C-alpha cells in the first residue's frame, strides 16, 4: 500500500513518550513551565520537552520491557474504569513502556490493588493534582475566548502533562490578548514568532529571475515538469490543467517550469518564490501557508503553478526540479523531474527524453529507514546505517529502548560478513526486525544476523 505524506500538513502529534525527572513534584513541573521565556500577559510557551506525570521511582522495575504495543493496555483500562479518581492511562516510554494509570484521588490504594491484580505487568498508579474535567473546562474557555475575538483556535488538553496547549498562530499581542485572563501553570501556547510569521497578501506574480505564467487549483498534485520549446510548453500547459490562455514565453532567455503543488483544504497555500540552489543543482518552489495555522486538514488538493525562469538563473549542467528542497514523499517519486542538459545558453533545448522522472527513485522499492531515536513496528523490516567504527555492542535507542548484543566482544570481533559489506566509511546497512514477548531485535546484513535484547543500564555507547 502506498502511503503519502501530505507536504503542506502540519499535525499536532501527541506522542506516547514520557519525559523529565520522575522525582519532580507537580509544583516543580508547573514552575518549569512557568519559567519559560516570557510572553505578553504572563502567558508561557509550551515546552519542547514535556514532563509527564510519573509514580514514585521505587515502584518501577527493570522488567518487563515493552517495545511496541504488547502491554495489556485494554485489560488495565477495563480494571481502572469506574475506580474513584480515575482519569486516564498512558504509556511511559521513559520507564520501559510501562502503563501509567492516573488518579486524582486514592492513588496509593489503587497501587496496592494494581500490584495484586496485575503482578507480572508493568503498571503503576500515578497521583495527579488535576482532573481531566478541569483541563477540558480550561481548554473550552481558551477556545471560546479565541473564537470571541474572531481568531482561530486549536490545541488539546493533556491529562498526562497536566497542561492545556493552545495553538494561537502568531505569538503577538493580538493573538495572545484573548487568553490574558487564563494565564497560569496549566495553560501554555504555541505559535510562530512575529518576525517569522507569514504575512497575508496576494500571490506574487514575479520574483528574482522568474515570473508567474498562470496558477489554478487544478491538475495532478506532487508533479513537476519542464518545457524548453513551444511544443513542450503547449503539452506542459495542458498537463498542468490550467484553463487560461498560455502567455507568451521568450525561449531565447527563458524556460518554463510547472509545479503541481498540493494543499490541505483548511490551509490554502501561496508560492512566494522560485529557489535555485546551484550547489545541489535543485530548482524548487517556496510554498507558504498564510494565516500561520498550527494544524491543517490532511486532505491533498492540487494547485498548479507555471512559471517562466530566466536561463541565467539555472545551475550549470543539468538540474532537478521538485516542489520543495526535501526529497519527494514516499509513494510519489514522479514529483522529481530531471533535466540532463545545460540550458543556460540562449535558445538551447532539451529533447523530450532528456526531461524525465528519476527512474532510480521510481524503481527503488519503498523501505522504511530509521535512525537512532526512531520507532519501528514488530515483524516489519526496517533499515539502519550501522557505523562499525563505533561501539555497536549496544544499539539505539530504538523504540525508546537501548539494546544490548547477545554476542560477547562484538565490537572487538565484528562479523566478517558485515565488514565485507561496509562502505569506505565503515558503515553497513542492516535490516532490523523487532519481536515482542520477550523483546528481541535482530540485525541482519550480508546474510549474517546478530541478536539484541533490552540493555539493563539503558545506555548506548554510540547512536
Instruction: Tell me the sheet residues that pair with 89.
Output: 101
DSSP secondary structure code for residue 191 in this structure: E
C-alpha cell at 300: 491533498
For the chain, how many helices (H) and strands (E)?
8, 22
Between CA 112 and CA 64 the distance in angstroms is: 18
Global pTM value: 0.74
Phi, psi of 76 (to 5 degrees): -65, -40
Domain layout of the chain by residue ranges = 26-50+131-196, 57-127, 206-363, 382-454
Residues across the chain: 463
Give the contacts of 293 (CB within 8 A, at least 6 positions apart): 10, 152, 154, 167, 169, 266, 267
Instruction: Tell me the sheet residues that pair with 207.
Output: 210
Between CA 210 and CA 233 the distance in angstroms is: 16
Q: Indicate the SS3 state at residue 335.
A: helix
Contact 124, 55 (CB under 8 A): yes
With both helix axes pointing from N to C terminus, report the angle between 73-80 and 107-117 in degrees, rounded to the nearest 10.
130
Q: Please report, in angstroms and rounded to a whole number, the separation of the first and last CA atoms in the chain.
A: 31
Strand pairing report for 98-103 and 123-127? parallel
pLDDT in tens, the chain (463 residues): 233 333 333 333 323 233 333 344 333 434 334 334 579 999 999 988 888 999 999 999 999 999 999 999 999 999 999 899 999 999 999 999 999 999 999 999 999 999 999 999 999 999 999 999 999 999 999 999 999 999 888 899 999 999 999 999 899 999 999 999 999 999 999 998 988 888 889 999 999 999 999 999 999 999 999 999 999 999 999 999 999 999 999 999 999 999 999 998 878 899 999 999 999 999 999 999 887 776 777 788 999 999 999 999 999 999 999 999 999 988 899 999 999 999 999 999 999 999 999 998 888 777 889 999 999 999 999 999 999 988 889 988 999 999 999 998 888 888 999 999 999 999 999 999 999 988 999 999 999 999 999 997 766 666 5
Phi-psi region of 42 (alpha: psi -120 to 50; beta: other; left: phi over 0): left
Amino acid at each position: 500500500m502506498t502511503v503519502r505524506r501530505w507536504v503542506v500538513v502540519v499535525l499536532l502529534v501527541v506522542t506516547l513518550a514520557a519525559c523529565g525527572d520522575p522525582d519532580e513534584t507537580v509544583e516543580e513541573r508547573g514552575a518549569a513551565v512557568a519559567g519559560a521565556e516570557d510572553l505578553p500577559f504572563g502567558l508561557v510557551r509550551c515546552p519542547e520537552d514535556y514532563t509527564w506525570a510519573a509514580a514514585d521511582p521505587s515502584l518501577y522495575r527493570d522488567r518487563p520491557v515493552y517495545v511496541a504495543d504488547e502491554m495489556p493496555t485494554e485489560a488495565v483500562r477495563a480494571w481502572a474504569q469506574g475506580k474513584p479518581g480515575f482519569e486516564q492511562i498512558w504509556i511511559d516510554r521513559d520507564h520501559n513502556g510501562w502503563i501509567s494509570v492516573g488518579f486524582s484521588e486514592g492513588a496509593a490504594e489503587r497501587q496496592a490493588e494494581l500490584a495484586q491484580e496485575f503482578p507480572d505487568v508493568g503498571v503503576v498508579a500515578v497521583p495527579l493534582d488535576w482532573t481531566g474535567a478541569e483541563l477540558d473546562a480550561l481548554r473550552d474557555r481558551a477556545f471560546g475566548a479565541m473564537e470571541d475575538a474572531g481568531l482561530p483556535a486549536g490545541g488539546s488538553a493533556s491529562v498526562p502533562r497536566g497542561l492545556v496547549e493552545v495553538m494561537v498562530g502568531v505569538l503577538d499581542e493580538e493573538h495572545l490578548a484573548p487568553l490574558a485572563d487564563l494565564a497560569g501553570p496549566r495553560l501554555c501556547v504555541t505559535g510562530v514568532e512575529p518576525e517569522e510569521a507569514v504575512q497575508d497578501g496576494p500571490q506574487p506574480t514575479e520574483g528574482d529571475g522568474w515570473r508567474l505564467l498562470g496558477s489554478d487549483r487544478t491538475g495532478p498534485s506532487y508533479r513537476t515538469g519542464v518545457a524548453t520549446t513551444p511544443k513542450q510548453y503547449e503539452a506542459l500547459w495542458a498537463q498542468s490543467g490550467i484553463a487560461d490562455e498560455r502567455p507568451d514565453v521568450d525561449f531565447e532567455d527563458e524556460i518554463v517550469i510547472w509545479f503541481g503543488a498540493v494543499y490541505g483544504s483548511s490551509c490554502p497555500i501561496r508560492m512566494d518564490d522560485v529557489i535555485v540552489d546551484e550547489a545541489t543543482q535543485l530548482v524548487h518552489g517556496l510554498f507558504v501557508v498564510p494565516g500561520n495555522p498550527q494544524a491543517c486538514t490532511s486532505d491533498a488538493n492540487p494547485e498548479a503553478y507555471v512559471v517562466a525562469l530566466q536561463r541565467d538563473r539555472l545551475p550549470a549542467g543539468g538540474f532537478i526540479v521538485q516542489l520543495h528542497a526535501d526529497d519527494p514523499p514516499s509513494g510519489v517519486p514522479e514529483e522529481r523531474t530531471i533535466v540532463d542538459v545545460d540550458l543556460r545558453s540562449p535558445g538551447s533545448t532539451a529533447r523530450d527524453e532528456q526531461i524525465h522522472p528519476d527512474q532510480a527513485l521510481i524503481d527503488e522499492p519503498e523501505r522504511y529507514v530509521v535512525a537512532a531515536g526512531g520507532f519501528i513496528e514488530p515483524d516489519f523490516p526496517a533499515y539502519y546505517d550501522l557505523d562499525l567504527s563505533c561501539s555497536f555492542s549496544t544499539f539505539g535507542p530504538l523504540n525508546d529502548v537501548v539494546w544490548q548484543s547477545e554476542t560477547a566482544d562484538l565490537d572487538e570481533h565484528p562479523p566478517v560478513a558485515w565488514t565485507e559489506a561496509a562502505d569506505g566509511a565503515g558503515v553497513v546497512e542492516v535490516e532490523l526486525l523487532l519481536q515482542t514477548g520477550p523483546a528481541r531485535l535482530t540485525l541482519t546484513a550480508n546474510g549474517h544476523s546478530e541478536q539484541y535484547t533490552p540493555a539493563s543500564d539503558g545506555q548506548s555507547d554510540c547512536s
